[in-house]
Structure 1
Amino acid sequence: MKHCWLLTGMLALAGCQNMDAVAPWVDVGNQVARNAGYDTDSRIAGGIKEVLHTSTDRASSSLSQTGAFHLRLPASVQPLADSMRQLGFGSHVDQLENAMNRGAEQAVAEAAPVFKRAITGMSVDDALGIVRGGNTAATDYFRGRTENALRQRYQPIVEANLRKTGFYDQYREVLSIYENLPIANKPDMDLESHVIDSSMTTLFGRIGEAETLIRKDPVARGSVLIGQVFGATQGQ
């Protein structure tokens, strides 16, 4: 029983802001618990993965709703878009941006399992490195380790959903108008990459927001396991 109370106390310390100061105590607590037969590494790793799973579910659910994304043409293209509006082609710009946003929303819903598989594949060591971090440490670590690989798997999903929304038809129309405008030094119009990059940034940002809320109230917004990992009893 003493070991259980000690383990609980060490895990509670993990919720403190000054993790550099308490990290040695967390390590000591984990070692004591392991000596007593508790596999705290796996338990903590499970809690971290659960945070990411829950945060990804909530982010994907919210961003898959119509109107969730507010993507616009890249800043480098905005002067051109303004010129098109002034010349009476504003509806083409609006339709193109609408197709971009609907495609991003649909892609997020379909891509959620891809992100969750990447979370499941995290090693115990990866997960343990997160518990001492800040409010979005899990999201930041996950993004840093997986973004390039996820982008490759996310791209065909985005492309397929952009096709469904008529993005490419609108894109061709705008390009046709764009190429015939008497404007010098025209910016790059690689809008597909813009949609992929912007939607991934938005998704990771929303996952980070969900993680922050879970860390503030681990049990209510997460689970008992998450509460144990992030010190839900701290301050009670």
Structure 2
Amino acid sequence: MFTRIAGPLLVAGLLVAATPAAQAQTKTTTKKTTTTKTTTQTAAQKAAAAKAAAAKAAAAKAAADKAAAEKAAAAKAATPPPAPLTEAQASAGVKEALNKGIVKAVQFASEPDGFNLNDDIHIPFPEDAILMKTTLSKFPGMNTVIGTFETQLNRAAEAAAPKAKDIFLNALSNISITDALTLVTSGSTDAATQFLRKSTEAQLIAAFKPDITAAIDQVGAGAAYSKMTSQYNRIPLMTPVQTDLSAYTTQKAVDGLFILLAQEEAKIRKNPAARTSDILKQVFGRK
């Protein structure tokens, strides 16, 4: 009998004892589920908030860009276009640009090594005497003569360069008002320089040649050239060199001055910082 009663009681006791543990496990599972659900909801809320903030920032930027564009358009519409350039303004602008370029170009070319160390205008060994140069370089002592000869040619050009200033400046008066307007509106960065070259090159060559000839002898280029040609022309079967050294150096010196002048003109046309006066800004700052 005791056995029949004790069995059910033991089972009941075990059930009672198991109930709190089961309840605790259920509570833990529920808590974990609730926590996971809460975490998932928080992440979703953060993502939604971030998305909303990004959309708000994008909308604000779009509104600001639109407002800026409208403001710029309004300002442009409110600003009247500049008055057409007059012929008188064009003439004054071109002449001032050339005057400025002439002063700078002549000053630079006249300095020591103004020609000699400038790769753009350096006067090289005469083209028709290159064979002579190559041949004589094999003779003892001739390398020294050859090495200084080019420098002496450039020294001659530097010595003659100041004479170009007055010739250039006098030529400015020959630029008509109509020509000036055409030069200002030209798409070429050296239009005024090329115009000036057509009217002054022959005069420059004629004025330069006596000075170049004198300078060639003064700096020693003439003596060096005579020594080289004498040595070279004595070599059997060699065609004598007959370069007119004065004509060659004069042409190269004039070419160099126009190269420098063209560079100065291009600066004024392309670089606002080079327009150092009101008329230059007014004439060349319209594009």
TM-score normalised per structure 1: 0.76
- Give the counterpart letter for 1:119 in structure 2: L
Measured after TM superposition, the shift of residue 139 of structure 1 is: 0.6
Partner of residue 154, structure 1: 208
Partner of residue 71, structure 1: 123
Match of 2:283 among 219, 224, 229: 229
Partner of residue 108, structure 2: 62
Moved more, 155-164 or 55-64: 155-164
Cα distance in 2, alignment partners of residues 159 and 99 from structure 1? 12
Instruction: Work out whether residues 167 and 204 of structure 2, in 8 Å CA contact, stay in contact via their aligned partners in 1.
Output: yes
Does 2:185 correspond to 1:132?
Answer: yes
After superposition, the CA RMSD in angstroms is: 2.2
Moved runs in structure 1, 4+ residues, more than 3 A? 218-222
Instruction: Work out whether residues 110 and 159 of structure 2, in 8 Å CA contact, stay in contact via their aligned partners in 1.
Output: yes
Does 2:88 correspond to 1:42?
Answer: yes
Measured after TM superposition, the shift of residue 71 of structure 1 is: 1.5
Give matches, 1:199-210, under 5 Å: 199-210=253-264
Gaps of 5+ in 1: 11-28, 31-39
Measured after TM superposition, the shift of residue 223 of structure 1 is: 1.8
Measured after TM superposition, the shift of residue 187 of structure 1 is: 4.2
Structure 1 residues 220 and 92: alpha-carbon distance in aligned structure 2, compared to 1, 3 A threshold? closer
Instruction: Work out whether residues 118 and 146 of structure 1, in 8 Å CA contact, stay in contact via their aligned partners in 2.
Output: yes
Higher relative contact order (Cα pairs below 8 Å, separated by 6+ residues): 1
Cα distance in 1, alignment partners of residues 209 and 179 from structure 2? 26
- Aligned with 1:86: secondary structure? coil
- Give the counterpart letter for 1:75 in structure 2: E
Seq. identity, %: 26
Partner of residue 214, structure 1: 268
Give matches, 1:82-231, under 5 Å: 82-88=134-140, 89-133=142-186, 134-218=188-272, 220-230=274-284
Q: How many residues align?
A: 201
- Give the counterpart letter for 1:74 in structure 2: P
Measured after TM superposition, the shift of residue 93 of structure 1 is: 1.8
- 1:65-101 Cα offsets, whole Å, 9 max, x none, are 2222221212221121011111121222223222211
